[in-house]
Amino acid sequence: MNSRFSTAVHILTLLASTPGERVTSEYIAASVGTNPVVIRRQLASLREAGLVESKGARGGGWALGRDPAKITLKMVRHSLGADAKFRMHRNDPHPECPVGQNVRSVLEDVYEEADRAVMRSLEQWTIADMLKRVRRIAGTE
Amino acid sequence: MNSRFSTAVHILTLLASTPGERVTSEYIAASVGTNPVVIRRQLASLREAGLVESKGARGGGWALGRDPAKITLKMVRHSLGADAKFRMHRNDPHPECPVGQNVRSVLEDVYEEADRAVMRSLEQWTIADMLKRVRRIAGTE
DNA sequence: TGTATCGTAACTTTTTTTGTGACGGTATTG
DNA sequence: CAATACCGTCACAAAAAAAGTTACGATACA
């Protein structure tokens, strides 16, 4: 998992915390502590996955695309595509080494399985859960 | 998972493929396609975990520290420590945003759980398995 | 028509990862 | 005992990846 995933969850939880309102990328950026463009970039992936929707122009902004109880962290990870995945070493192995030539393909199987395990784990968390727990910690409930 | 993990598995599988022999970091580097120092760095972590052992000086080199059937990929990942883990976004959230202030700690729980899932998955693979599968693909068996 | 917003491209900066050179230490070999 | 072939590790360089910034066009609202 990487920092893009973390940021995405942060954003979605923030949106869930202000239902009915549209929030600007500038506001989100201030909450996360970064630049609005960085946020918009992230939101772009989330929008493709249907998790958020945006409206341009004055009065525009961002809102969740669906019920936060129906957004799992699995979906979030999925929306980030290859960026969130396990990575292979990218060296060119020696052409005559049978191990070097073939470990990669076996490793791919390993990663695929591990990835499924991660997804099963993330599947159990929703944005609504995240918000609930955040609020419990903050004592805002 | 990252490229250090992949490289570590590559190295261990290579060592498993030449039982009884010591292999030099230079040889391993050639197989992986990188610099010997990079390999030694990686081997250092693996040695701390007892997965390999080395002998300096002439005639020296590296060998597995135990039966390849007793080395799981979980151990390999564990030996890499924090490097192999999921990472949080490192921005400073806005001090007055209750979401920003607390998502991290909830995310830590999420990551911990996901990490355990990965470990359970990796636990099922041993270096001996890797070698067997590599050989099957290579048709060297 | 002015303004607040998104969308996105190009670029810069920072951070992380990987690679390299250098050199000391040590056991083995002859 | 000296030459050698290794490891161990530090400091630095280069490359790659990620994050941040600037800029500007497009659009709807007021």
| A35/C14 CA-to-C1' distance in Å | 14
B97-123: pLDDT as tens digits: 999 999 999 999 999 999 999 999 999
pLDDT, average across residues A23-40: 96
Mean of the per-residue pLDDT values for chain A?
A: 93
* For B133, nearest residue in chain A (alpha carbons): A106
- Which of these, B116, B90, B1, B82, lies nearest to A3 by C-alpha position? B90
Residue A13 pLDDT more than 80? Answer: yes
CATH code at A3-138: 1.10.10.10
Range of lowest pLDDT (A61-65, A86-90, A124-128, B69-73): A86-90
| Residue A88: Cβ within 10 Å count | 18
Confidence of residue B129 (pLDDT cuts 50, 70, 90): very high
Each domain of chain B, given as residue ranges in start order, spans: 3-138
Which amino acid belongs to residue B110? V
Q: What are the start-end ranges of the E strands in B23-70?
A: 52-55, 61-64
| Interior/surface letters B96-125, b for 16+ CB within 10 angstroms, e for the rest | ebbbbbbbbebbeebbeebbebbbebbeeb
What is the C-alpha to C-alpha distance for residues B34 and A40, in angstroms, rounded to an integer? Answer: 38
Please check the confidence at residue B141 and state whether its pLDDT lies above 70: no
Percent over 90 (pLDDT), chain B? 84
ipTM of the prediction: 0.91
pLDDT of residue A140: 57
Instruction: Output the pLDDT for position A87.
Output: 82
A17 CB-to-strand C distance under 7 Å: no
Q: Give the CA B46 to C1' D12 distance in Å.
A: 25
> Sign of torsion, CA B96 B98 B102 B107?
negative
- Give the 3-state DSSP-derived string for A1-48, with helices as H, strands as E and coil as C: CCHHHHHHHHHHHHHHCCCCCCECHHHHHHHHCCCHHHHHHHHHHHHH
Chain A with chain B: Cβ pairs closer than 8 A: 166
In degrees rounded to 5, what are phi and psi of residue A64?
A: -65, 150
pLDDT over threshold 80, residue A72: yes
Percent of chain A with pLDDT over 90: 84
Closest residue to B111, CB basis, from A1, A101, A116: A1
Q: What mean pLDDT do residues B46-57 have?
A: 94
In B22-139, beta strands by DSSP E: 52-55, 61-64
- Determine what percent of chain B is predicted with pLDDT higher than 70: 98
What tens digit of pLDDT does each residue of B58-77 get?
999 999 999 999 999 999 99
Q: Indicate the average pLDDT of chain B.
A: 93
From the CA of B38 to the C1' of D14: give the distance in Å. Answer: 14
| Chain B: residue whose CA lies nearest to A85 | B1
Q: What band does B49 get if pLDDT is binned at 50, 70 and 90?
A: very high
Q: Residue with CA nearest D21 C1'? A: A35
Q: Give the pLDDT confidence score for residue A2 in this predicted structure.
A: 79
Residue B121 has phi, psi (to 5 degrees) of -70, -45
Q: Give A102-131 pLDDT, tens digit per residue.
A: 999 999 999 999 999 999 999 999 999 999
If you average pLDDT over residues B71-92, what whole number do you get? 89
Residue B140 in this model has a pLDDT that exceeds 60: no
From chain B, the residues in CB contact with A86 under 8 A are 1-2, 5
**Which of A43, A45, A66 lies closest to A55, judged by CA?**
A43
In angstroms, the CA B3 to CA B38 distance is 12
